[in-house]
Every structure is written in structure tokens, then in C-alpha cells.
Amino acid sequence: MSSNSFHPPVRTLMGPGPSDVNPRVLEALSRPTIGHLDPAFVGMMDEVKVLLQYAFQTRNELTMPVSAPGSAGMETCFVNLVQPGDKVIVCRNGVFGGRMKENVERAGATAIMVEDPWGRAVDPQKLEDALKAHPDASLVAFVHAETSTGALSDAETLVKLAHEHGCLTIVDAVTSLGGVPVKVDEWEIDAIYSGSQKCLSCVPGLSPVSFGEAALERIRNRTHPVQSWFMDLNLVMGYWGSGAKRAYHHTAPVNALYALHEALVILQEEGMEKAWARHMYHHGALRAGVEAMGLELIVPEGERLPQLNAVSIPEGVEDAAVRGALLSEYNLEIGAGLGELAGKIWRIGLMGFACNRTNVLYCLGALDAVLTAMGAKIDSGRAVAAARAWYGANG
């Protein structure tokens, strides 16, 4: 069998991630590869750390990208902070809270679950009740922006509650970083992880993380070795630490880090507050169009992520058929529901570079056309006009 070069189709990515990548980031990927201990590369690593500190709104020294996707960032937090015998309170309101539970249990600890309905934010009162019922808990873990449902939880309040009861916090910001406010220092988050492929509009494969001093103290005082050699921060920091002299730990993904550096430079150029405002602005137009079609956003207002919109599927419409038509006829990707929401929602992403007026209007027009052709019970022909009217009324 002989194979030819792979040339992917040009898609518009409006699912739950990866998102469209800025052409400047793609160009950065193509720059010459140099050694992962080259002085020039080490200098760029230092810049990446500073740029990530800006993105996370933190001065934490231990702020860096893990050389693997967001799931590895999650695991890095758990394997370093959780020890056998620990009791960890995990808030679950979607798929990714469930993955936190698995990480706790694989580390030999006990997960105390705080359950909320899918499509709703974590209820602070339920967390407080769990903290009172389990005074021996040492950590609280929750998802800030639940990618499976589009729900946004109040991270500041949840962290405050955890600290009032003597617990450190692990926060999943995979979908929130760059799209909605994430303020590590102001909210006093102890450990946080994200991903490169969502609102940062970089290629998949890197996971920014940040650890505060209380988390580092816990890591230094472990009584059991970190179960993962690759993710042991005591070893990794020999490579990602300060200064020109770096100890070899692993071969970093050099070109992917070029891309992340460029993505973070773009974020800095725009300004964090403007990036947050842009995501909310275009979400408003998408919402207007979706509702004009007669569809619903399943997450209540006030708990919605602007960058990940969970849209109800009309009765009698086959989820996969619609997504397949969008992909084949419009080169447009939107996401399916996961877990208990599979077949019930579409997840429409407005992340990073993909969050713009052109994409909003294109997605609404394509979805309207596909659903109309399938005979779905929607208000055909109104979506784009409603979005345009929203833009006109809101500048």
C-alpha cells in the first residue's frame, strides 16, 4: 500500500474544540525546529510562562504548559496534589466532573461527590453542605466551564467556600481560559489547568497549568511519591524552572510551543478584557438567531458560557444527520451532546479566532437551511435576520 501526503479539508470549526486556528499560529508552527535546550528556545520558554501568567491573571512562578492535551493537565494537578487515603470533594455537573472523580480514585483517594443537574452551574450550597459533612476533606475540585453542557460555575465563590473549610482547590479551566474571566490570584485558586485548542485558538496538544504557593507546599510535603514520573512537578520544574540552566526532563514539542507563544501574543495584543467582551458580544447574536428559529439554549441565563452554546435539538430531528449535512455541504463542524445529553443537544462553539460575526451568520444560515430541508419544525428563514438585527442594535 502506498500513501500520499495528507491534505485535510478546510473546515469552519464551531464545535466544542478544537477551534479555528489563527493563520499567524499556523505560520509559527512552520518555523525551523531547534533543540529543546537551545538557548534561544529556553528564552522563548520564559516568555511563554510570562504570557501564560497574563492569561491566567496570576503571578504564580509555577505557570507553564504541560507537553500534552488538557486531560494531561488535569492529571498533572491530581497526581501531584492527591495522595492515597485523601478525601477529595468533587463537584460533578457534566462529563468532565466525572473525569475528575476517576483521577481521584486512581490516585488511591476517596471522591465525595457533589451532584448537580447537567446544564446547571455547581450549587455553592451543596458544596458547603458537603464540606460541613466531611471536615476531613483536603481538596475541592470542580469544572469552571463544563464543556459537555455549556454551564459556567461561580469559581470565586466555590474557591472561597473551600478555603473557609481548610481545603485547597483544583479548577478545570479548559474551556474558560481566554473566553470568560479567569482570575487565579484574585480568586486565590490553588491549582488550575486548561487547554491550548479552545479559546486560545492554538493547535491541540498543550495544557497550560498554574500552581499557587499553598499547592506547592502540599506537593513538597508529600509522603508518597507522585505516581506519574512524567507529570511529577518536582522533576518537570527542573526543565521549566527559572534561569538559563535547564535540566533535561523530556523533549518538549518545540513547534507546538512556538504556536502557543504566538497564540498568547495575539491574546495579549487584543487584551484580556476585550477578548472576554468579544465572546459575550457574538454569543448575543448567536443566541438571537437560535431563538428566532424556535430553538432553545438549555443552560439558564446567568449560568451560560458565551463560547460554548448548548442548543436543544428539535423533536423528530436526527442529530447525526444534521451534523453530517453541515460537514459535507458547508464544511462546518458543530458538536454532539455527550453522556446523558447525547442526541438531545448540539454544542456550538464560539471560541477564540472562531468567535466572529462571519462565523455566527454562516452557522445560523447553514443550520437553518439544513433543518428546513429536513422538514424540521422551526421558524425557517429568521435566524440570520435576527442575528443581523442584534448586531445592528448593539453596535
Each residue's pLDDT expressed in tens, for the chain with a length of 395 residues? 889 999 999 999 999 999 999 999 999 999 999 999 999 999 999 999 999 999 999 999 999 999 999 999 999 999 999 999 999 999 999 999 999 999 999 999 999 999 999 999 999 999 999 999 999 999 999 999 999 999 999 999 999 999 999 999 999 999 999 999 999 999 999 999 999 999 999 999 999 999 999 999 999 999 999 999 999 998 998 888 765 567 889 999 999 999 999 999 999 999 999 999 999 999 999 999 999 999 999 999 999 999 999 999 999 999 999 999 999 999 999 999 999 999 999 999 999 999 999 999 999 999 999 999 999 999 999 999 999 999 999 98
Which residues neighbour 162 within 8 Å (Cβ) at sequence distance 6 or greater?
89, 127, 131, 139, 140, 168, 169
Q: What is the DSSP letter of 281?
A: H
| Judgement on whether residues 319 and 174 belong to the same structural domain of the protein | no
Which residues neighbour 87 within 8 Å (Cβ) at sequence distance 6 or greater?
109, 110, 112, 134, 136, 137, 138
Which residues neighbour 14 within 8 Å (Cβ) at sequence distance 6 or greater?
332, 333, 334, 348, 349, 350, 354, 359, 363
Neighbours of 340 (CB within 10 A): 14
| Judgement on whether residues 183 and 284 belong to the same structural domain of the protein | no
| Judgement on whether residues 148 and 281 belong to the same structural domain of the protein | no
Q: Residue 50 corresponds to which cell in the numbers above?
A: 510570562
* pTM for this entry: 0.96
**Of 299, 288, 304, whose CA–CA distance to 363 is shortest?**
288
Q: What is the CATH number of the domain that holds 282?
A: 3.90.1150.10
12 belongs to a structural domain: no
Structural domain of 319: 272-393
Q: Of 268, 289, 309, which closes a domain?
A: 268
| Judgement on whether residues 295 and 258 belong to the same structural domain of the protein | no
| Judgement on whether residues 258 and 309 belong to the same structural domain of the protein | no
159 belongs to a structural domain: yes
Q: Of 244, 268, 292, which closes a domain?
A: 268
Strand partners of residue 168 = 139
**Of 354, 271, 340, whose CA–CA distance to 308 is shortest?**
354
Q: Of 233, 268, 303, which closes a domain?
A: 268
